Amino acid sequence: MTRKLLITGGAGFIGSHVVRLFVTKYPDYQIYNLDALTYAGNLENLTDIADTPNYHFIKADITDEQAIPALFAQYGFDGVIHLAAESHVDRSISDPFAFLRTNVFGTTNLLNAAKNAWKGNFEGKRFYHVSTDEVYGALAFDGTFFTENTKYDPHSPYSASKASSDHFVRAYNDTYGLPVVISNCSNNYGANHFPEKLIPLSINNIKNNRPIPIYGKGENVRDWLFVNDHARAIDTIFHTGKNGETYNIGGNNEWSNLDLIHKLCEIMDRKLGRAPGVSAKLITFVKDRAGHDLRYAIDSSKLQRELGWKPSLQFEEGLDKTVDWYLQNEAWLEHVTSGAYQKYYEKQYK
Ligand code: NAD
Ligand code: DAU
């Protein structure tokens, strides 16, 4: 089988791992990485595969109503894995419209382009929408989990925009028969994570002896999944998931932010040759995030039972590997923090 697969947001954190997995695992597929290269898009995430014959980069914005249908006509994509999004909750609080535009309008523009290009001939076609557990709202400290049947209850502009995009995906399935599949995943961590998010921000700050900002009391709980395990789940669901279905993906690794940061400080002390307890002195409690969801926890038993996926790494091992990656890839981090990464496209493609 030859596929012409459009992956959106492939220059971002998770997208780059998905692109690498598909380019290397499926040499018969043509992989088109479409990305607008916002501040979060970094082609330095993909330098190792940039010259692979089945990899193609397209700089485009998913909200572009002319360009997106034209690209479907030009390349004849028969599958879509849609990851492009505005992804940072704090940014959604200061600029909700950017999230509305990309996450809601952009997703609908892609759905519509796929529907029009495939013209009701859906044999061998698939539109896979990558979503988040944040659409389900927040859990109490009561041992419950988000399942695929949990009622949507988003609280931030980010999660509201992702919830809305999920609804549009289901509406295109119900109304036009578009073959879709959705997954809702918990917090990812690993290599190439943009250092505005808790783990890479903290690694960078600890390394540079800067304060580690903990929102509120640090009691909020997240369920952490190693990014390569998410990429493997996407591969499994894209190829074997059922049309119209939703699959929750999670690591079963619940950590409060404060416990997580203490664990990270221990690892950093060890790897940087610091005395135990030195990095933890950088912990600084700051004003809480507005509308801060208390706890996320995913029940991924449907995916495990029906499609046979399971996470490969426990959190402490994954966190250790992640710290190693950041310490061994200082140039990547330096290019992100200095802004040099944004010049890569001009150098490589112009
Ligand atoms: P990211 O912010 O690292 O990357 C997003 C990518 O999308 C960037 O490369 C950016 O340039 C691109 N992009 C943004 N707006 C665009 C537009 N208008 N047109 C084309 N490209 C655009 O995000 P991420 O953390 O890799 O998340 C990827 C997807 O996975 C998102 O849909 C997110 O909601 C979802 N998700 C993320 C997590 C997580 O923990 N990071 C967990 C569950 C689900
Ligand atoms: O649950 C999946 C979601 O995980 C994804 O859909 C989002 O795209 C992704 O960004 C992530 O959202 P979070 O808001 O959970 O991630 P973030 O790294 O921003 O924050 C993790 C927790 O740490 C959260 O409780 C807020 C807290 N935090 C975050 C930052 C950046 C701090 O205490 N201090 C910080 O400086």
pLDDT tens, residue order, the chain (350 aa): 569 999 999 999 999 999 999 999 999 999 999 999 999 999 999 999 999 999 999 999 999 999 999 999 999 999 999 999 999 999 999 999 999 999 999 999 999 999 999 999 999 999 999 999 999 999 999 999 999 999 999 999 999 999 999 999 999 999 999 999 999 999 999 999 999 999 999 999 999 999 999 999 999 999 999 999 999 999 999 999 999 999 999 999 999 999 999 999 999 999 999 999 999 999 999 999 999 999 999 999 999 999 999 999 999 999 999 999 999 999 999 999 999 999 888 887 77
C-beta of residue 58 within 8 angstroms of C-beta of residue 32? yes
Atom of ligand 2 nearest to the CA of 223: 1
| Pocket perturbation via mutation, ligand 2, pick of 215, 219, 224, 225 by most ligand atoms within 8 A of CB | 215
134 flagged as catalytic: yes
Type of residue found at 97: F
Which one of the ligands is nearest to 133 CA?
A: 2
Whole-number mean pLDDT of the chain?
97
Does the domain spanning 4-192+223-252+296-314 belong to CATH 3.40.50.720?
A: yes
Which residues have a Cβ under 8 Å from the Cβ of 300 and sit 6 or more positions away? 247, 248, 249, 250, 252, 309
Q: Which ligand is nearest to the CA of 205?
A: 2
4-8 and 283-286 strand pairing: unpaired
Domain spans in the chain, listed from the N-terminal domain onward = 4-192+223-252+296-314
Examine the residue annotation and report whether 123 is marked as an active-site residue of this protein. Answer: no
Q: What tens digit of pLDDT does each residue of 170-218 get?
A: 999 999 999 999 999 999 999 999 999 999 999 999 999 999 999 999 9
257-272 and 198-207 helices, crossing angle to 10°: 40
* Among 179, 180, 150, CA closest to 166: 180
Return the pLDDT at 346. 82
Q: How far is the CA of 136 from the centre of ligand 2 (A)?
A: 15
CB contact at 8 A, 121 and 73:
no
* 8 A C-beta contact, residue 245 and residue 278: no
The number of the ligand 2 atom at minimal distance from the alpha carbon of 220 is 25
Cα 213 to ligand 1 centroid, rounded to whole Å: 23
Quick check: CB of 187 below 6 Å from ligand 1?
yes
Q: Which helix (H) or strand (E) holds 95?
A: none
Query: HSE-up of 252 (CA within 13 Å, CB side)?
Result: 10
Q: What is the pLDDT of residue 2?
A: 65
Pocket test for ligand 1, best of 13, 165, 197 (most atoms within 8 A of CB): 13
Give the pLDDT score at 347: 80
pTM of the predicted model, to two decimals?
A: 0.98
| Pocket test residue of 87, 224, 253 for ligand 1, highest count of atoms within 8 A of CB | 87
Which pLDDT tens digit goes with each residue over 4-53?
999 999 999 999 999 999 999 999 999 999 999 999 999 999 999 999 99
**C-alpha 13 to ligand 2 mean position (Å):** 14
Report how far ligand 1's centroid is from the alpha carbon of 281 (Å): 32
**Pocket of ligand 1 contains residue 248 by CB under 6 Å:** no
In the chain, % of residues over pLDDT 70 = 99
Query: Does the annotation mark 39 as catalytic?
Result: no
CA–centroid distance, 9 to ligand 1, in Å, is 6
Q: Are strands 254-256 and 221-226 parallel, antiparallel or unpaired?
A: antiparallel
How far apart, in Å, are the Cα atoms of 105 and each of 70, 84, 108? Answer: 17, 12, 5
- Looking at the CA of 191, which ligand is closest? 1
Residue nearest to atom 2 of ligand 2 (CA): 187
Find the ligand nearest to 195 CA.
2
Ligand 2 center to residue 325 CA distance, Å? 20
